[in-house]
C-alpha cells in the first residue's frame, strides 16, 4: 500500500451549494449563463498538488500485454441486468494490445499500481485518453483540453484498500504534467456522493443486434463533417456540451443521423471494448444524442431502433447500450431491456449547471 495517506481524489472537486443545485435542476440557468458559460478550472484549496513522484506505486505501463491481461481478467461492468449472476456473467473487457497501441498513438496514457516492488503483481490499472477541447453551445470553443478517465480497475483482493484512490490521484497528476487537468468520468451504478452533482445522470437500456430490421432514414456522417454538423444541431440545444477532438478522423466514435418528417437526430456510438458473456459479441454504447426540429414521439421509437441497428451493423457489434431518456415518456419497446443507472462527472472544471446537460462525446 501507499507509504503515506493520500487525500481523496474528490477532495479538490467543487461541490455547489444545495440552493444552487436545486435552482439549476428545477428552473434551469439564466439566459445570460447559457450565452456566456462560466467554464472554469478548479484548483485544490490549501493543498499541494500531487505529482507522479508522490505516488511511487503507480507507474506508466511498460508492457501493454500485462496491462491487457489484468484488465481482461479483472474488469467487469456491474449493472442491474447481471447482478444476480456469477462474476463470469458480467460483460468482460475485450481490449486488445493492438487497440491499446492505437489509443497510445492518440495520446492515451496507461498506468499500473504495484505495491512498492516493480516485480510484485499488478493490483490495479487506469488509463486516460485526450478528447480535445471542450465546447458549449452558444459559446466559442474553450482552451480547456479535457481527458476521459477509463479502464479504472482494481483487483478484487485489493479493493477498499486505497489502491483506487492512488490510481485516480496518479492519473490526475499525470494529466497535469501534460497540461491537461480537466477530466470526465463515467460512473455506472450508484452516484459518487463526494463528487458533488453529476453533469448528467440517466439509465441504460440495451438490446441485442440480430441483423433483421431495416435502418431506413439513417446515414453515417463523415468524420470531417461532424464538427460542422454538431455546431448546426447545437444551435437548437443551448444546454449541449461536446468535445472537439484534435484528430477527428482517428476517434473510434462513429456519428449517424436520422431524418424524420419534420426533424432529425444526430447520434454518436462508441466501442465499449467489452464482450457480452452470452455470445462473446462486442458492445457499443451511445455517447451523444442531439435533436433538431420537431421529432414526434413515435419517431423516437423508430429512431432508436434504426440508429442502433445501423450502428451495430457498420461497427460489427452484437449488443447496443443506449440512454433510456432518448425515448422520453414512451414505454420501452419489446426489443429493449432496462439496465442500471449511469452518471457523467466533470472533474477539475465546472459546466455551469448540473443534472440535465446534453452531452455529445467522441472518444
Domains and their CATH numbers in the chain: 38-198 (3.40.630.30), 202-343+354-360 (3.40.630)
* pLDDT tens per residue, range 92-141: 899 999 999 999 999 999 999 998 766 778 999 999 999 998 888 777 66
Using CA atoms, how far apart are residues 352 and 144, in angstroms rounded to an integer?
15
Chain-centroid distance, C-alpha 204? 13
Q: Which three cell numbers, joined as nine digits, stand for 91?
A: 460483460
Which pLDDT tens digit goes with each residue over 307-344?
A: 999 999 999 999 999 999 999 888 999 999 999 999 99
In whole angstroms, give the CA distance from residue 7 to residue 65: 31
256-288: b (≥16 Cβ within 10 Å) or e: bbbbbeebbbbbbbbbbbbbbbeeebbbbbbbb
Question: What is the band of 26 on the pLDDT scale with cuts at 50, 70, 90?
Answer: low
Phi, psi for 272 (deg, rounded to 5): -85, -10
Least confident piece of the model among 244-258, 273-287, 343-357: 343-357
Q: How many residues does the structure list for the chain? A: 363
Residue 25: pLDDT over 80: no
pLDDT in tens, 61-89: 988 999 999 998 898 644 333 333 344 45
DSSP 104: H
Averaged pLDDT, 194-209: 89
Task: Please give the model's pTM, rounded to 2 decimal places.
Answer: 0.87
| SS3 assignment, position 272 | strand
Give the pLDDT confidence score for residue 80 in this predicted structure: 33
CA distance 161 to 151: 18
Amino acid at each position: 500500500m501507499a507509504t503515506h495517506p493520500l487525500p481523496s481524489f474528490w477532495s479538490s472537486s467543487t461541490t455547489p451549494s444545495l440552493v444552487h443545485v436545486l435552482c439549476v435542476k428545477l428552473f434551469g440557468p439564466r439566459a445570460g449563463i447559457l450565452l456566456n458559460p462560466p467554464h472554469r478550472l478548479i484548483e485544490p484549496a490549501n493543498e499541494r498538488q500531487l505529482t507522479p513522484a508522490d505516488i511511487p506505486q503507480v507507474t506508466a505501463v511498460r508492457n501493454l500485454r500485462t496491462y491487457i491481461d489484468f484488465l481482461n481478467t479483472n474488469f467487469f461492468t456491474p449493472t442491474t441486468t447481471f447482478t444476480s449472476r456469477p462474476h463470469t456473467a458480467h460483460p468482460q473487457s475485450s481490449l486488445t494490445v493492438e487497440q491499446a497501441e492505437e489509443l497510445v498513438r492518440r495520446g492515451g496514457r496507461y498506468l499500473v499500481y504495484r505495491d512498492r516492488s516493480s516485480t510484485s503483481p499488478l493490483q490495479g490499472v487506469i488509463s486516460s485518453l485526450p478528447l480535445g477541447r471542450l465546447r458549449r453551445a452558444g459559446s466559442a470553443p474553450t482552451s480547456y483540453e479535457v481527458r476521459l478517465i477509463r479502464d479504472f480497475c482494481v483487483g478484487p483482493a485489493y479493493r477498499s484498500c486505497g489502491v483506487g484512490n492512488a490510481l485516480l490521484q496518479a492519473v490526475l497528476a499525470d494529466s497535469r504534467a501534460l497540461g491537461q487537468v480537466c477530466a470526465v468520468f463515467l460512473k455506472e451504478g450508484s452516484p459518487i456522493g463526494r463528487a458533488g452533482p453529476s453533469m448528467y445522470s440517466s439509465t441504460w437500456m440495451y438490446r441485442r443486434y440480430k441483423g433483421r430490421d431495416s435502418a431506413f432514414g439513417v446515414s453515417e456522417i463523415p468524420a470531417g463533417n461532424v464538427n460542422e454538423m454538431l455546431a448546426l444541431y447545437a444551435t437548437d440545444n443551448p444546454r449541449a456540451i461536446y468535445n472537439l477532438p484534435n484528430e477527428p478522423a482517428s476517434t473510434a466514435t462513429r456519428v449517424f443521423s436520422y431524418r424524420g418528417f419534420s426533424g432529425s437526430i444526430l447520434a454518436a456510438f462508441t466501442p465499449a471494448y467489452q464482450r457480452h458473456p452470452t455470445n462473446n459479441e462486442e458492445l457499443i454504447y451511445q455517447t451523444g444524442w442531439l435533436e433538431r426540429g420537431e421529432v414526434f414521439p413515435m419517431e423516437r421509437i423508430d429512431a432508436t431502433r434504426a440508429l442502433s441497428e445501423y450502428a451495430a451493423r457498420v461497427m460489427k457489434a452484437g449488443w447496443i447500450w443506449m440512454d433510456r431518456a432518448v425515448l422520453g415518456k414512451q414505454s420501452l419497446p419489446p426489443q429493449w431491456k432496462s439496465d442500471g443507472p449511469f452518471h457523467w462527472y466533470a472533474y477539475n472544471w465546472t459546466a455551469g449547471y448540473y443534472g440535465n446537460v446534453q452531452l455529445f462525446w467522441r472518444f
